[in-house]
Amino acid sequence: MNFIFISTTSKHNTPFIELPKKYIFNKQHRNVLISDEHVLTNFLMENNAPDTIFVVDCEKKQGLSLFDIAKSKVGVKCIPYKPNDITLEATDLTILDHFNDSITNKAIAIYGTGNLATKLAIRLAERNAKIFIIGRNEKKVNHVVNCISQITFNCDNVNKFDDSTKLDCLISFVSGNEVIKPDFIHNMKNGALCLDGGIGNFSKSFIAKGNEAGLDIRRVDVRMGDIILEGHIKSKIDNPFYKYIGRMIYDDLTLVGGGIIGKENDVIVDNISEPSVVIGLADGFGGVKRKENLTDIDKERILRVDEYIRKNQ
């Protein structure tokens, strides 16, 4: 199977850019950026083939939803994905790798108040890090801090940054260039990790002086998250769960599986395609009837399905 990755951006209007290939499923696959509907349509038609699946950015940017356009084209096979989410996963994995999988009580500053910065702040706060939000708009900073504090269990772990804070890690996710100046260096602990997620967020002087000071300065490399992307693609084209979910009729009995909420007394099985175990009878509320509440008729239903399973194994 050949995959072609198509993403877009909110930063500029370049109609087409050929990006570095993605190494997915032990093979190199083409990777492009498109920000024009006509360019996208032509690209899809020129590169469509029976063994090709387009993996397309589904987030609307600059008023353009690439996936919706690709999905509307007859004969084009496509899968939606969110490159920003892969960037988030790559950043998370990079941080975990640097800190040997534990960031409890690590002081981590995030420069940015947008989509990625906020999602990352939530993720890291839930990993028990001490998060400090930095931004150019104080109102937005306060909003993000208050929002995250209300939706996480660790509400005390998220605060505004102040200049007295010593940091184990600094991450930037903003659209501006060279917003991180050398002034931040005195806030960094020895060997602190500095990640440029916006690409171009770190000034040249910060990079030069930070390297002299022994900081670990990197850009976020999204390839760290490609293993997550593989899982997403597999979930769409070869997901065993599709065998588990569904309904079927056996005699006068309804069998359900895969999380479908059955009507009262529907028989819940582990796998609707090839059932091997009866989980129980649906209680009509999304749960399973307690054994002590089963009537003789209920027990007979279960026995009939057990017998059906034995005959078909």
Same domain as 259, residue 220: no
DSSP 273: S
Same domain as 218, residue 116: yes
From CA 99, how far away is CA 101, in angstroms rounded? 6
Q: How confident is the model at residue 268 (pLDDT cuts 50, 70, 90)?
A: very high
- Phi, psi dihedrals of residue 189, rounded to the nearest 5°: -75, 165
| Start-to-end CA span in the chain (Å) | 33
Per-residue pLDDT at 123 exceeds 80 = yes
Q: Side chain identity at 307, as an amino acid letter?
A: E
Give the model's pLDDT for residue 152: 84
Same domain as 275, residue 173: no
Within-domain flag for 196: yes
pLDDT in tens, 156-189: 899 999 999 999 999 999 988 999 999 999 999 9
Q: How confident is the model at residue 283 (pLDDT cuts 50, 70, 90)?
A: very high
Q: Domain containing 130 — which CATH number?
A: 3.40.50.720
Domain end position, chosen among 193, 226, 259: 226
Per-residue pLDDT at 313 exceeds 90 = no
- Count of residues in the chain: 313
Same domain as 118, residue 219: yes
Same domain as 137, residue 68: no
Per-residue pLDDT at 297 exceeds 80 = yes
Same domain as 256, residue 283: yes
Q: Side chain identity at 187, as an amino acid letter?
A: N
pLDDT in tens, 63-74: 889 999 999 999
Is the overall model pTM greater than 0.75, yes or no?
yes
What is the arithmetic mean of pLDDT over 42-60?
A: 97
SS3 45: helix
* Structural domain that includes position 253: 241-312
Same domain as 120, residue 206: yes
Domain end position, chosen among 203, 226, 249: 226
Helix 115-126, helix 138-151: angle, nearest 10: 40
Within-domain flag for 254: yes
Q: How confident is the model at residue 12 (pLDDT cuts 50, 70, 90)?
A: low
Token look-up 């967020």 returns: 201
Within-domain flag for 233: no
Give the model's pLDDT for residue 2: 97
Same domain as 254, residue 199: no
Helix 83-98, helix 226-237: angle, nearest 10: 130
List the structure tokens of 7. 């993403």
From CA 189, how far away is CA 299, in angstroms rounded? 65
Within-domain flag for 74: yes
Q: Which strand (E) or helix (H) includes residue 193?
A: strand 188-196
Count structural domains, the chain.
3
Average pLDDT value for the chain: 95
